[in-house]
Amino acid sequence: MRINVSTIENAIRRMTAIVRRDEAKEALKSLGDDPDSGRLGWWVLACGPAYDPDDFDQREQARELLLEELETLDVILPENIWVWDDTARAQLVITSLPTKERAERVATHLRRKGLTIRVKREEF
């Protein structure tokens, strides 16, 4: 049986999403919210260059450029959690916060450093 890189990436994404979903539920419980209400937190995403979603090398190059930009600005992350959606851009989770207002405050601070930042509802 031959397994390609895309299959492995999809499996890793699913496993990561399950872990993050469970962590998000625990965070909501600690804040007194009902984790089964369907309400999730807010991601603050650093955005890098656009790429062709079908071009693995181009995607990796876009990721590397974003990581270099973050390193230059001394934005250090404990892990790299990449977000894929219909924007076809390298997007890295900087943090996850329980309210949009808090996420926007962090986003404003990071934009002042020169980063391209999006605030987006967490998705699993």
Q: Is residue 51 part of a domain?
A: yes
Q: Is residue 26 part of a domain?
A: no
Q: Is residue 94 part of a domain?
A: yes
Q: What are residue 121's DSSP bridge partners? A: 42
Q: What are residue 96's DSSP bridge partners? A: 43
Give the residue among 98, 117, 120 at the shortest CA–CA distance from 24: 98
* Phi, psi of 114, deg, nearest 5: 105, 5
Per-residue pLDDT of the chain (124 residues; tens, 9 = 90+): 677 776 777 677 667 766 766 776 676 566 666 655 555 689 999 999 999 989 999 999 999 999 999 999 999 888 899 998 888 999 999 999 988 999 999 999 999 999 999 999 987 6
Q: What are residue 91's DSSP bridge partners? A: 47
Q: Is residue 57 part of a domain?
A: yes
Structural domain range at position 100: 36-121
How far apart are alpha carbons 39 and 76 in whole angstroms? 28
pLDDT at 98: 87
Q: Is residue 58 part of a domain?
A: yes
Q: Is residue 21 part of a domain?
A: no
CA 104 to chain centre: 15
Q: Is residue 70 part of a domain?
A: yes
Q: Is residue 20 part of a domain?
A: no
From its phi and psi, is residue 21 left (phi > 0), alpha (psi between -120 and 50) or beta? alpha
Total domain count, the chain? 1
